[in-house]
Structure 1
């Protein structure tokens, strides 16, 4: 009799478990590429675009600093720091009209500005959010952009302040219909992770993609190391679409020549390949975008 009750209890628990909604994201055919930070005359039209993927260009960067040679913080008043001569509003409209599967976003922050680091440096949550909403709304409308990426890498504020500033910014831009998607671009550094995990904890529901910089790990990363890193970051950003990534200059992480696509095949077989992003089109121009073609072909295949 006791064994029958145990079996029944196990069946009930199993049924409850199966019926619970999954907290993990579904795989996708999303391909994303940063563009414009290095001013080497790369154009949207240079980059091969597979019609069978969702393609996001990410303009790099908009920074809340002055554009003078001695750049200084502006408390949320953003300026365009990408190659706007080649990647201007008319070029955005052109590439989107020629390729219906293309969307274009801008990325905030980046590593450096002028001769120093680009710091997240608000004077207060309210002032920064007010200035950021106003300045970014103007840029996004002028360029007819679709989304925003958060890539601050240096901080003059604590994690909770960062979380509130960015969280309120995303809440307002999405609520006003200014953007349709948002992403973050952390990497494995204690200070960086503390800021982004605080943001994820409070506002993860507003973040559509995690552009985790796996190329910030050591050069020569192995396939097994990459997969372990991926599992760790899926746990850190639980329920998020953590994208696989490489840098096309070969400076770090698991390179396409050393097994990146092998790792992606394994992720895909597990239903965990949520997309691929590349840093950056500026560097890929030199090799004819061979790895962009290979990445998109993999994502487009069934």
Structure 2
């Protein structure tokens, strides 16, 4: 090879690497391999469940998700444009009980979930008056609740919308951005499910702000009851593609009313995902329902996550 050819080769290599760098997705990184994250919603059903009732394996990362904080007036009758109130069982899940469970278990973090399906027997709607006013109210009211309760993160679980996807995306995206930038929260998650209206809102949020969302609590239990292992794996892969680069968690509902239940192969599916390095964690709806069956599936989930391989 002549010396004349070397600069030309160098230029080709430089252009190749530059092109590869420019075309790679920079906003959302590839999700890492298996995780030991276990998350559980708690407090929505007011059946006196306490943090201390739930078995906590020391070898997992454990998140409690208080359900729910909602931007409705305390009676639950009308929306308040981002001024959030506590709608979980705060008698049993109080600030002192949050501090106590975190002091007893160094692997526990506690977050709150926003919205949920219903309030005062009606649907809980996401209904901002404007983006800026909603964000301002939400940052203020949630910062106050999060600091009062010594919480670590937020989860977004709105399921009904009186605003278009772009408005939802900007409101929630700016809320997460501000709370993270202010050091109020260390993580944020979203809880979509397979419904056209729901997905249109969350996918708009993901497209613009996915790099700020740490976990996707996809509600796989919203699929039909009697889901098979192979169907579950297909659903998981579809949603992992939708929320590309995200840590999509596997999930079940403790009362077995939807999706793939623990009795019908949920843990088989999780083992399979784990063998493919795709098990980013497990979450459960909910501790309130699991109480009456002795939290047996919480124990099984955490044992699976705590096992190295």
The normalised TM-score by structure 1 is: 0.93
Q: Deviations over 1:142-178 (max 9, x none)?
A: 0000000000000000000000000000000000000
Matched, 1:192 2:189: no
Tell me if the contact between 1:25 and 1:240 (Cα under 8 Å) persists in the aligned partners.
no
Structure 2 residue aligned with 1:28: 35
Q: Deviations over 1:181-214 (max 9, x none)?
A: 0000000000000000000000001000000000
Matched, 1:88 2:94: yes
Find the aligned partners of 1:47 and 1:113 in 2 and give their Cα distance.
25
Find the aligned partners of 2:121 and 2:271 in 1 and give their Cα distance.
40
Correspondence list, 1:78-227, <5 A: 78-227=84-233
Q: Deviations over 1:102-155 (max 9, x none)?
A: 000000000000121000000000000000000000000000000000000000
Structure 1: give runs of 5+ residues left out of the alignment: 1-11
Structure 2 residue aligned with 1:9: none
Find the aligned partners of 1:251 and 1:259 in 2 and give their Cα distance.
14
Structure 2 residue aligned with 1:49: 56
State the superposition RMSD in angstroms.
1.7
Structure 2: give runs of 5+ residues left out of the alignment: 1-12
Find the aligned partners of 2:233 and 2:208 in 1 and give their Cα distance.
27
Structure 2 residue aligned with 1:268: 274
Give the number of equivalent residue pairs. 288
Find the aligned partners of 2:86 and 2:31 in 1 and give their Cα distance.
35
The normalised TM-score by structure 2 is: 0.91
Find the aligned partners of 2:188 and 2:33 in 1 and give their Cα distance.
17
Structure 2 residue aligned with 1:256: 262
